[in-house]
Amino acid sequence: MRKVAITIGVAVAAIFLGSGCGSDDSGGSRTLKWYVFAEPSGAFQDAAENCTKEANGRYQIEIVDLPTNADQQRELVVRRLAAEDSDIDIIGMDVIWTAEFAEAEWIKEVTGAAREQAERGVLPGPLETAKYQGRLWAIPFTSNTQLLWYRKDLVKQVPETWDEMIEQAERLDTTIQVQAARYEGFVVWFNSLVASAGGEIVDDAGDPVLGAPAEQAAEVLKRFASSSVAPPAFTNNREDQARLGFEAGGSAFQVNYSFVYASAKTGAETNPAVKKIFDNMAWARWPSVDPGKKSRVTLGGINLGIGSYSENPELAEEAALCLAQSDNQVIASEKGGLAPTNAALYDDPRIKKAFPFAELLGESIAEGVPRPVTPAYSDISLAIQQTLHPPQDIDPQKTIADLKDNIETVSNGGLF
């Protein structure tokens, strides 16, 4: 499926490809194009301006905005790279793109002194998202993962496991906000459950290794979906719907990203009902599957890749390393709410101010896990969505057996 889409995309891409950058006719600095999602706070623009100034005339960074939707971002970038577009110098890559882009040779490997600089001080979790087959293919820039958010006016003892949380919510006659629509967020939930149960979805070769941990994960999905704690229409919930559901006051718990804290804080300024929620809003580690075993939660974020067809790959690599510097990661945190990948920054007062939960967030990111690292990830994600959704229809053993077959099929280039 992916190969066919790319082939079609090459023809489409030829219509809108821009010319390569190089140096301008006036002999001025080289313009490097940074393709990245349209970050609304201006943090990325600040970083680009900082690095342009630091370059002292050797290059300037121009941002090319990608859509906010991750699937649309990937589609646009893939079309250009498949057509060997020299306009793309630096790519703000979703962490799930690494294996696919590396295997297709659309990005350059980061080696030598650049690799040493890119890896220095980076948390283990984010660093793994930039690697494929032991080689570094991107420069870690921002990260994120989910925490458990709860109301301390209702919850007297923080649950450690999903079973405990469901039982507490049932006793409180309340709900738990999750991301259960048929989209990437549902895959994140399943991946986190599998990893927290001690398993993984595929091995290093990309082959499915779904076993007992995956069945445990499926049992959690089934129990939640079949219980009274699942909100109405929860199978349409994405991150924002979960946030709004929690702020509305009908839920004692939600699993979600760090943006929900800033959102509730802003809402509290004008809405008394949201203020009550925010004043009682607390955080804890994402629930585990087995008692006594720490959860391991799926990582998000942006890595910086160097386009293979850039006319200025050395400058692009230098610029990407500049963009990922600590000061620019701080700006991304303060203005955009994007968590840093640099371990030392979690002790920085600026990060602690931006994220009062910085210690827990840093710990969760350090121990976080990538989604399946394979060039076939996009198809595997669709297989998970189609096989496990809706979660109330799951038969743990049978459904996981079906999922294993479906992943094997798409990994070998087939359809199911």
Identify whether residues 163 and 70 lie together within a single domain: no
Within a domain: 371: no
* CA distance readout (Å), 44 to 50, 86, 138, 318: 10, 22, 17, 16
Q: What is the CA radius of gyration of the chain?
A: 22
Residue 288 and residue 303 in one domain: no
Question: Over the stretch 345-380, which tens digit does the pLDDT of each residue have?
Answer: 999 999 999 999 999 999 999 999 999 999 999 999
Question: Each residue of 35-93: pLDDT tens digit?
Answer: 999 999 999 999 999 999 999 999 999 999 999 888 899 999 999 999 999 999 999 99
Per DSSP, the residues of 181-233 read: SSSHHHHHHHHHHHHHTT--SB-TTS-B--SHHHHHHHHHHHHHHTSTTSPTT
Q: Which of 141, 136, 144 is nearest to 99 (CA)?
A: 136
Residue 116 shares a structural domain with residue 163:
no
Domain containing 324 — which CATH number? Answer: 3.40.190.10
Residues 220, 134: one domain? no
Same domain, 354 and 380: no
Residue 8 has pLDDT above 50, yes or no: no
pLDDT value, residue 39: 94
Assess if residue 26 is contained within a domain.
yes
Residue 71 falls inside a structural domain: yes
Same domain membership, residue 252 and residue 171: yes
Tell me, yes or no, whether 154 and 117 share the same domain.
no
Q: Give the domain extent around 289.
A: 147-297+376-411
pLDDT digits (tens, 9 = 90+) for 285-329: 999 999 999 999 999 999 999 999 999 999 999 999 999 999 999
Q: What is the pLDDT of residue 391?
A: 98
Number of separate domains in the chain? 2
Verify that 208 and 322 share a domain, yes or no: no
Task: Specify whether the CB–CB gap between 290 and 197 falls below 8 A.
Answer: yes
Query: Does 18 reside within a domain?
Result: yes
In a domain? residue 65: yes
- Read off the pTM: 0.91
In sequence order, the 6+-apart residues with CB closer than 8 A to the CB of 23 are 29, 30
pLDDT band at 414 (very low <50, low <70, confident <90, very high): confident
Residue 416 within a domain = no
